[in-house]
Amino acid sequence: MSGRARDFVATVVLAALLAGCSNDAVDEVETITLERTDFNVSLLASGELQAAESTAIMPPPGSRAPRTIRWLAPNYSWVREGEVVARFDVSTAEREASTAGIEIDKVDLQVLGKERELQRLLSELGNDLEILDIEKLMATEFNFENELAYSRFEIIDAMRDRALLDYKSGHLENKKGSYSERQGAEVAVLAAQRSTQESKFEEQQLMLENREVTAPHDGYFVTEKSWWGQPIDVGATVFSGNKLASIPNLAKMEATLQVLETEAVGIVTGQKVDLLVDAFPDRPLSGTVSAITATAAPIERDNPVKYFMVTVALDQSDPEWIIPGAIVTATINISQAGETIAIPNQAIFREGESDWVLVQAGSALERRDISLGLRGPNRSQVLDGLQVGEKIALFPPGKAES
């Protein structure tokens, strides 16, 4: 059955009840007398205190690789400037630095071997060139002036030997250059390998040298929370540049409230909020809504219920008891109207687009249409249709509460 059909049936039933009632119908229901009062629409929420401003604590420089927390100062503990607040596991860095150092030594040995091999080859070529130079000298000094002293074949062989010696000399010179070029290319490859290992070694050395984080100034040490709201703790993996904790500025505090998605209607920035710290219920706080998330999201890994996060800027600050992490209960004043008629929602009936109530007229009840203003979870403001001093029924005749 549609909503419009249900409203029609309810109206028919109510009309029948009214028609069948005697003039003593008023005696069968509970009524209230209307008066003007201050009317507020508010919402209860809970959350915790945090600082509006804080100094970020991040992993030390040295590597873009993730780091594992080995030790962490207790959450919400007071720390002094220069005091160690976090230590990181460096066992992997020690192992990789050692491996990189070994690789560097291996490359250096390979380069030394290449240099010695080139020296040996060049030395052998030098010896061969010296022998060739002697042979060329001897061939050059061969005297052909007396052609009768040598046969034609001896003269031709001597000329061939000198040409061959020139060719061999050129070949050895080329070979010498080839050896140098090849050795240079191989050494360049080894130099690139060494540079890579040097970078790894330096990166790991930086991680070893920056294994601790110290507090930049005095204050409370507050760890960050993971995506699912869990505080970062020992064993957690953090990345360079990501905040793992903070030291808040206690002179400027705020509250973060969790509001159910279904209840967040009407919350806007600028609304006044009344708060109580659970540990100090006799010390009320006040504040103003400064921000609300654009979308609702779950706050627990296994719970699909979504919440809006509402930030409230506090009007007070006191480092003695207004501290980060304190649990608070808040009342968000969504809207308010002074000196107005407000009636319980249970006394309001609806037919189509019309709202109406049952008004006492003598000893009978009569229907009267009304115009509503602010709507709250329990009461609603009446803009038109009712007067101060009139009485209305809280429920129709025949529906008295047991």
CATH architecture under which domain 22-53+249-394 falls: Beta Barrel (2.40)
**Residue 5, both tokens:** 């059909």
- Dist. CA 236–CA 242, nearest whole Å: 12
Q: Which amino acid is at 51?
A: A
Supply the mean pLDDT for the chain: 81
Q: How many CB atoms lie within 10 A of CB 4?
A: 11
Residue 148's pLDDT is what? Answer: 47
Cβ-contact 398, 19 below 8 angstroms: no
Residue 79's pLDDT is what? Answer: 93
Confidence of residue 400 (pLDDT cuts 50, 70, 90): very low
The pLDDT tens digits for 120-153 are 776 776 666 666 666 666 655 554 454 544 454 4
- Dist. CA 365–CA 29, nearest whole Å: 10
The CB-side HSE value for 261 (13 A sphere, CA atoms) comes to 10
Cβ-contact 215, 80 below 8 angstroms: yes
Q: CA of 296: how far to CAs of 165, 218, 299, in Å?
A: 91, 36, 9
The pLDDT tens digits for 159-183 are 455 566 565 666 666 666 676 777 7
* Mean of pLDDT values over 5-10: 46
The pLDDT tens digits for 240-267 are 888 899 999 988 999 999 999 988 878 9
**CA-wise closest residue to 395 among 352, 353, 343:** 343
Question: In what side-by-side order are the strands of the sheet with 212-214?
Answer: 212-214, 84-88, 67-72, 237-238
Question: pTM to 2 decimals?
Answer: 0.56
Residue 112's pLDDT is what? Answer: 83
Q: What is the sign of the dihedral through the CA atoms of 15, 21, 27 and 29?
A: negative
54-90+211-248 classified as CATH 3.40.50.300: no
Residue 27's pLDDT is what? Answer: 62
Q: Give the whole-number percent of the chain exceeding pLDDT 70.
A: 76
Is 325 a residue whose pLDDT tops 70? yes
